[in-house]
Structure 1
Amino acid sequence: MATKLILLGLLVNLFMLTDAESVGVCNGGYGDNLPSKQDVVTLYQNNGISKMRIYDPNQDTLEALSATDIELMVGVPNDALQSLTDQNVANAWVRDNIQRYSNVNFKYIAVGNEVDPNNENSQYVDYVLPAMQNIHTAIRDAGLDDRVKVSTATYTGLLENTYPPSKGAFKGNVVGFIEPIVKFLAQNNLPMLANIYPYFGYRGDPNKNLQYALFTAQKTVVTDDNNGLQYSNLFDAMLDAHYAAQARVGGENVEIVVSESGWPSDGGQEATIDNAGTYYKNLIEHVRGTTGTPAKQGISIETYLFAMFDENQKGGDETEKHFGIFSPDQQLKYDGLSFN
């Protein structure tokens, strides 16, 4: 009997290990000191990073990825969305950037990134859904829809309420934009992509709790009064707020892939090497588990870290230049990170 129990325990542990979700890393390019595309792909391979996100179909990167096992999320830049409202243009985009690279392990196409009626990307709002629909049609007609999933990358800025998580809701003037997108994803069994940044949630919180943001809180910090669910980290709370917002517009069963998450190492409040290293290490350990979030127990949290390198030409706040987990000289900035 004891032997059977030991064997059962080993099988359970083996199952948990093989079911663990490996993390991806976003590969941005806003730098004048970054390695070659081939060197970047080699760096992914040498560090066991099995998933990559890029923000446009860069030819050199796609060629470097050919015949590797790296899963790829490829983006459609916002300024290309309007052209893709023409089905013929969408067909050509898929032919030139997906079908042409038959040895690349495409997984997702992110049609637009952080388009929002309330930010600098508002001019693209009317183009996201038709572009998604046309790209999806082109992918389906190419016989690739069983493995290449079409979506768009949203972010927490679309929400008007994130506390408590169960009250998560999209802003009033966002609903008309996002609801048809969520319903399209639900109808086609496609995931939503969401950029989740506890760093920015922490900065905007008047009751700042750094341990809650860094996964280092030793006990429950937030109890959701609506359902009694308990939260010890801000990442789960923000993700569940997204799930709650989706449920309100017909997306209760639309899975969320975390398409970006990171912490800067310089340039702003609590942006330090120690905090960033703590965040990345704890995030990786968290999402590689199989417990899910309090509201979505048992659902793996597929996550892409932002970003591969510090990017010295990135616009915006100074922190935007310091999200890399590697320095441009290809040296890992944080000890103890393991990606698989």
Structure 2
Amino acid sequence: MSTILLLLGILSIGLGFTAVQSVGVCYGVNGDNLPSKQEVVDLYKANGIGGMRIYSPNEEVLEALRGSDINLILDVAGETLASLADVSAAAEWVSKFVTPYSSDVKFKYIAVGNEVHPSDNAAQFILPVMQNIQRVIWQVGLQDQIKVTTVMDSSMITNSYPPSASVFTEDAKPYIEPIINFLVQNGSPLLANVYPYFAYANDQQNIPLAYALFTQNENNDIGYGNLFDAMVDSIYSALEKSGAPNLAVVVAESGWPSEGGDGATMEIAATYYANLIGHIKSGGGTPKRPNGAIETYLFAMFDENMKPGAESERHFGLFHPDKSSKYEVGFN
């Protein structure tokens, strides 16, 4: 059997979503060749995928999700952030996109802002919008079902090697620490996009491919066997130093492209997804948080041929737009 077929076989075993509610898949729509919203939700259900992230409210998707039992991360669209700093607009947003569906759509998180950096103009709106939406969620009695949060990336972390030394950058602290306080007060996790691929691609001299792919045979000199755990634990360490040692982290995106960049091949991507899912299924957590699975959303459901940026950005899909599995995956 060829190496690629062996890896695809491993992946078809590893992607058993029915037994792993800690794994979801992000549903991006930057393509002009994607299936209908109902077909996509049916594809999630047919493959036993228990979680979905969408990047803006879409009423077609929400209708299709009714009764599906799929946990949902609903992002606030970036272009609406400024308007939702007005509490009446936030109330209207919730009344349009959440309350009409809340009885039979499993909203889990509302994510206010995706990878917003302290220097971005949008940064000033993140906490006020979180507060406004949280207030409305309380008013409509959904606070036990839905947690309001935001999504960060690793650029706000510095001193990340070893992970125990990690802190938020000085520029990030005035922005992120009030958000952390909000999350602690409301029992919400912090969402983070965690990409060993980009760390590897940008520093191949110091990051072995095996370390990024979970295929390293032993722990390194700082006690880590894979880069994913090290990146997650660097966030936990930064949170501890910001006074939030018990705040949970949910991985809102993690994936590997099949082409378009260094290390971006079908074989390598298959290895990453299989081993990441196996790692999550093990329930072993990370060295810093060893008890329990790390809730993780794979990026992404489809290749998105209209996504801007580097060529690799258009090749993260687990499925082709015709709904066939990119990796010959048998989810069930």
Alignment of 1:215-230 (within 5 A): 215-223=214-222, 230=223
Q: Compute the TM-score of the two structures, normalised by the length of structure 2.
A: 0.91
TM-aligned CA deviation for residue 25 of structure 1: 0.1
Report the alpha carbon displacement of residue 128 of structure 1 after superposing the two structures with TM: 0.2
1:9 paired residue number: none
Q: Distance in 1 between matches of 2:65 and 2:91?
A: 22
Task: Encode CA deviations 1:75-133: one digit per residue, 9 max, x unaligned.
Answer: 00122111111111111111110001132111110111000025xxx010100001001
**188, 191, 202: which one aligns with 2:189:** 191
Question: What is the aligned partner in structure 2 of residue 55 from structure 1?
Answer: 55
**Which residue in 2 is equivalent to 1:113?**
114
Q: Percent identity?
A: 51
The answer to whether the Cα contact below 8 Å between 1:21 and 1:289 also exists between their aligned partners in 2 is no
**Amino acid across the alignment from 2:149:** S
Mapped to 2, the partners of 1:265 and 1:161 lie a distance apart of: 30
For residues 151 and 178 of structure 1, the distance between their equivalents in structure 2, rounded to whole angstroms, comes to: 12
Query: Does the 8 A contact of 1:76 with 1:110 survive in 2?
Result: yes
Of 200-209 and 128-137, the range deviating more from structure 2: 200-209
The TM-score with structure 1 as length reference comes to 0.89
Secondary structure of 2:289's counterpart equals coil
Change (3 A) 1:76 1:133: same
The answer to whether the aligner puts 1:170 opposite 2:163 as a matched pair is no
Residue 124 of structure 2: aligned partner: 126
Counterpart of 2:323 in structure 1 is 330
Aligned to 1:201: 199
Q: Measure, in 2, the Cα distance between the counterparts of 1:19 and 1:323.
A: 23
- Residue 338 of structure 1 and its aligned partner are, at CA, apart by 3.7
Deviation per CA, 1:154-176: give whole Å up to 9, x if none. 11111122110011111111111
Q: Which residue of 1 aligns with 2:64?
A: 64
CA distance in 2, matches of 1:291, 1:220: 15
Give the drift of 1:18: 10
- Let me know the Cα RMSD of the aligned residues: 1.6
Number of residues paired by the alignment? Answer: 314
Deviations 1:48-78 (A, max 9, x none): 1011000011111111111211111110012
Task: Compute the displacement of 1:143 (Å).
Answer: 0.3
Paired with 2:326 and 2:221, the residues of 1 have a C-alpha distance of 32
Higher RCO (CA < 8 A, seq sep 6+): 2
- Over residues 180-209 of structure 1, what are the superposed CA-to-partner deviations in whole Å (9 max), with x where a residue is unaligned? 001110111110000000001112223130
Shift of 1:308: 0.1
Looking at structure 1, the residues matched to 271 and 50 of structure 2 have their Cα atoms a distance apart, in angstroms, of 22
Report if the CA contact (8 A) 1:159-1:170 is conserved.
yes
Which 4+ runs in 1 deviate beyond 6 A? none
Bigger shift: residues 230-239 or 64-73: 64-73
Q: What is the CA distance between 1:335 and its match in structure 2?
A: 3.5
Amino acid at match of 2:252: S
Q: Distance between the aligned counterparts of 1:106 and 1:177, measured in 2?
A: 26
* 1:180 matches 2:178: yes
Unpaired stretches in structure 2, ≥5 consecutive residues? 1-16
Q: Whole-Å Cα distance in 2 between the matches of residues 216 and 289 of structure 1? A: 15
1:305 and 1:314 map into 2 onto residues whose CA distance is: 17
1:91 correspondence with 2:87: no
Secondary structure of residue in 1 paired with 2:31: coil
Q: Which moved more, 1:202-211 or 1:84-93?
A: 202-211
Aligned twin of 1:260 = 253
Equivalent positions of 1:66-85 (< 5 A) are: 66-85=66-85
Structure 1 residue ranges without an equivalent (≥5): 1-16, 224-229
3-state secondary structure, aligned to 1:212: helix
Aligned to 2:142: 144
For residues 217 and 264 of structure 1, what CA distance do their matches in structure 2 show?
20
Distance 1:231 1:185, change over 3 A: same
* SS of residue in 2 equivalent to 1:40: helix
Q: CA deviation at 1:21?
A: 4.4
The match for 1:25 is 25
Q: Secondary structure at the match of 1:172?
A: coil
Conserved? CA contact 1:21–1:287, under 8 Å: no
Determine if contact 1:212/1:234 at 8 Å carries over to the other structure: yes
